[in-house]
Amino acid sequence: MSPVTRIQLLPGVHLTAVHTTKFKSSLLSVTLLAPLSGDTAAANALIPYLLRRGCQAHPDLESVSAALDQLYGGSLEPAVRKKGELQCVGFVGSFLDDAYSLDGSPILEAATELMGQLLLDPVTEGGTFSQAYTQQEKEHLIDRIRGEVNDKRSYASLRVVQEMCAQEPYGVSRFGSEAQVASLTPEKVWERYQTLLATAPVELYYCGTAEPQRVAESFRKALSGLPRTGSFQLPACLVPADAAQVRRVEESLDVAQGKLTLGFRTGGITAASPEYPALMLCNALFGGTTTSRLFLHVREELSLCYYASSVLHKYKGIMVVSSGVEFADAPRAEEEILRQLEVCRRGEFEPWEVEGGRRSLISALRTLLDSQSRQEDYWLGQVIHGLTEGPEELAARLEHVTVEQAVAAAQTLRLDTVYFLKGVQA
């Protein structure tokens, strides 16, 4: 097991460091946290992309790239994520481990320095962000928002959540809305940036061969210019347990295959709940794996869909089922998906299904330790929700979940919204 260290570096600034020698690279990230809100989401999302354009020491894209090339082709990319009802904006970087540099020179210190420069010393123009960079990054962000429709499968999953949580912060897109992005000016974004720097809780992450103290020291040095004033408190996520009545939303696009997505509330169960492992097993049995009811019955036995699967939004307490079907088959597919859920609620599982689901979940948690980026994403979600449970501890809890507990979790699921993306002619 890789030891995980958590250190407070500055007020509201914490480092999570995973010490391991099995990778040839190190992974670093810096993340500013803000409540997800329609008023600020667009500006928050724009900030890392703007900062990535250049800093005082490396004032344009080409020179930032040159600095990264010098660090053996390290990457340092803007990251905008939604975890529960928090918006997480910052950078994720991957760098060659010191052991493999051609001249033996350390890479970690140079990498954190570059990260600090990009975060704290942007190129400015008249005391705010550059007019040209702001305009260009606004256009790119709008393209990114519009581009969500291009992948129909993930688009349908996004849309069902948006519709379902229209009255909750969770319904806000991680990028904000197109209209909000369009209304941003360099001054407005600059003001938001200053607010974030001073008041946002900051999460730092490192995974690699360096000792945590060395990592802490190099981050402390790189972030010494960070102003810190604020209480660094974040609001809790709203978790409605039930759905009043099923909402139905249909949209048309010129597509060949329909996408049917169903959003469920999990009865208040989230990653923080004692029942969470039971909900995980329930999801695995229902639609989370290739031995699940949705895969084996809706896809394989009935050939109704090319894919039919379910995923949990663990911090929000939502389960989303998504499937790709012929337009005319959608009613049958929905009926069959709900029928399989009833089977789960009655607990009609074969022993091999239960053990297969459990083994697959445990294996997925263990293999998370073999991927630096998956580990980073896991820990970010955990620490910002005040959770300390690691993948191995969660795996240990899964070993003891009973069929009855998984069935009890299935019984808490309430269908909230059905979204169907159909063709123009349908």
Partner 1 sequence: MSMEEIKYSKVGENVFTTTLPNGLPVLVMKKEGFQKSFAFFATNYGGMDMRFQLDGQWLDTPAGVAHYLEHKTFDTEDGNALQDLAANGASPNAFTSTSFTGYFFESTEKFEENLRILLSFVSIPWYTQESVDKEQGIIGQEIRMGDDEADTQVFYGMLEGLYAHSPIQVNIAGTVESISHITAETLNLCHRAFYDPANMVLCVAGDVDPERVAALAEEILPKEGHPPVERDYGEPEPDRANKPLWEREMAVSTPIFQLGFKDVPPAKGEAWLRWELTGDLAMEALLGTSSPLYARLYGEGLVDSNFSYGCEAYPGAAFLCAGGESRDPEAVRDAVQAEIRRVAQEGLDEALFQRLKRAGYGGLVRGLNSLENLCINQAQANFCGYDYLTFPEVFASIEKKDVEDCIRRAMTEERTTLAVIRPKEGPQA
Give the type of residue at 296.
L
**What is the rounded CA–CA span in Å between residue 28 and residue 372?**
9
**Close Cβ partners of 56 (under 8 Å, ≥ 6 residues apart):** 117, 121, 122, 123
**CB of 421 vs partner 1, minimal distance in Å:** 7
Among residue numbers 114 through 143, which ones bind partner 1 (CB under 8 A)? 132, 136, 139-140, 143
Q: Closest CB to partner 1 among 192 and 422?
A: 422
The interface region with partner 1, picked from 37-45, 181-189, 225-233, 358-366 by CB under 8 A, is: 358-366
**Close Cβ partners of 262 (under 8 Å, ≥ 6 residues apart):** 160, 320, 321, 322, 334, 337, 415, 417, 418, 419
**CB of 24 vs partner 1, minimal distance in Å:** 5
Among 151, 211, 342, 393, binds partner 1 (CB under 8 A): 151
Report if residue 244 touches partner 1, rule: CB under 8 A.
no
Among 96, 110, 343, 403, binds partner 1 (CB under 8 A): 96
Among residue numbers 8 through 37, which ones bind partner 1 (CB under 8 A)? 20-25
Report if residue 248 touches partner 1, rule: CB under 8 A.
no
Helix intervals (H) in 19-166: 41-51, 61-70, 108-120, 131-147, 152-164
Site string for partner 1, 283-322 (x = CB under 8 A): ------xxx----x--xx--x-xxx---------------
What is Dmax (Cα atoms) for the chain?
68
Only one residue has tokens 């896809």, namely 299
Site string for partner 1, 185-224 (x = CB under 8 A): ----------------------------------------
Report if residue 253 touches partner 1, rule: CB under 8 A.
yes
**Close Cβ partners of 213 (under 8 Å, ≥ 6 residues apart):** none
Q: Closest CB to partner 1 among 232 and 307?
A: 307
What's the gap between Cα 208 and its chain centre? 22
Among 184, 362, 407, 408, binds partner 1 (CB under 8 A): 362
- Among 208, 241, 206, smallest CA distance to 220 is for 206
**Close Cβ partners of 409 (under 8 Å, ≥ 6 residues apart):** 266, 267, 269, 275, 278, 279, 281, 282
Report if residue 147 touches partner 1, rule: CB under 8 A.
yes
**CB of 239 vs partner 1, minimal distance in Å:** 28
